[in-house]
Amino acid sequence: MSSASDLTDAKNRAFKILKLFEKSADRSSSPDEKREVNKEHEIVKQMLGSLLHQNGVLKRAFLIQHNRLKEYQEMVQERSQFNQILEKYREQIKALEVGSVKMLL
């Protein structure tokens, strides 16, 4: 399962395992053994469903976190640009103040 290339591949591998498990359960001799194997089979199906659901939740959480990080990086870049513009304006103000003082003298 860990070598699956994507979610679909993992599902297919899991269902193949379940089919093999089901076939081996059908070969059981006593009805009690069959019932026990069927119970285990249902538990494994539930576990698989739960794992697939958790995987989907984690993927959505990862995407949300990725988007937030991207937005944060854009804000940091924007702020840096604003700071550069602000510094240019401050330099212009200083130059104008110096020019104004020279004119008064």
pLDDT recorded at residue 13:
79
pLDDT in tens, 1-57: 566 677 787 788 788 888 887 777 666 667 787 788 789 889 989 999 999 999 999
- H or E element that contains 54: helix 31-104
Closest Cα to residue 22, out of 52, 53, 3, 44? 44
Q: Give every CB contact of residue 24 below 8 A, 6+ residues apart in sequence.
A: 37
pTM of the model: 0.54
Which stretch of 32-41, 68-77, 87-96 has the lowest confidence by average pLDDT?
Answer: 32-41
